[in-house]
Amino acid sequence: MAKTLKIIDKVSFRGTGIHSGKPCEVMLRPGEGSGIFFDLPGGLFPIGSADCDGTRRGTRLTFPDGSEVLTVEHLIGSLAGLGVWSAVISPRGPEIPAMDGSGLVFSEGIARAAGPGEDMKPVTVTREIAFTDPSGGGFISVVPSDLFEITCMIKYETKAIGCQVFEGVVTPETFLEEIAPARTFVLTSEIESILERGLGQGGAADNVLVIDDVVMHAPGHLRIPDEPVRHKVLDLIGDLATVGTPLRGRVVAYRSGHDMHLELSRRIRRSLLSA
Ligand SMILES: [Zn+2]
């Protein structure tokens, strides 16, 4: 069994949506029993009931009542990273607010609002699941482990990032210190096409690292020297939280994105059905 925390006090986050540029708010409140639920016009829905899409530079959930919740990954990644598996999430506005582009504000708020929860049976991977992304050269796999371990590699042409690797066991402590503070990033070469797609309308110097051929433009300075790969780990943890329960397995990801993370989550869920 996995020890978990639950939300015991209400906590709200207010800010701008990174893609919509509109004011957004999300409130977390205690739930009944275990599980992450979304409070939507059609009722309360468990996170596992959502269709997940990761093709628009973020994670978009579509629930059975047709409600869409955009850019959930840093919020649910913060819940999962801290081991909080009982909460009701009420979004207001077109997406979850960006805050500072990382999971830090969410994690600090959630940590203050959480207390001991029920033990939960984690999802245990019993055999390897692995696949590649032929279009982008990415690879992702999960193999059995008694822990939730992640090895994540990113590789970019720009010298400002180059090749970065993160390897570690995800615990509430490592998450808060090593993963939650890592901010989202964008390459200067990507900005025009992102804006043309109607995305990134709320991007600003205080919620995204802008990276050109040689420099990461960080307000102040980088929080962690390899901030980009650690942000990828935050995204991965958030996307895998769509499974709906704690995970035990060793995940290896190379040049992965939201779409691959969410496909891994779907395959993990399918493997449970066929087990
Ligand atoms: Zn992200």
Tens digits of residue pLDDT in 17-75: 998 999 999 999 999 999 999 999 999 999 999 999 998 889 999 999 999 999 999 99
Distance between CA atoms of residues 195 and 19, nearest Å: 9
Which among 180, 29, 174 has a CA at the least distance from the CA of 114?
29
CB 36 within 8 A of CB 76: yes
Residues with CB under 5 A from ligand 1 (ion): 184, 235
Catalytic residue from among 19, 231, 258, 261? 258
Which among 106, 112, 99, 104 has a CA at the least distance from the CA of 5?
112
As a whole number, the mean pLDDT across the chain is: 94
pTM for this model (two decimals): 0.96
How large is the angle between the packed helices 73-82 and 227-240, nearest 10 degrees?
Answer: 80
Mean pLDDT over 200-221 rounds to 83
In this predicted model, what pLDDT tens digit does every residue of 75-96 receive, in sequence order?
Answer: 999 999 999 999 999 999 989 9
CA of 121 to the centre of ligand 1 (A): 27
Residue 78: what pLDDT?
98
Which among 87, 133, 128 has a CA at the least distance from the CA of 106?
87
258 has catalytic annotation: yes
Distance between CA atoms of residues 176 and 250, nearest Å: 19
Q: What angle do CA 260, 89, 186 make, to 5 degrees?
A: 40
Give me the amino acid identity at 208: V
Residue 219: what pLDDT?
66
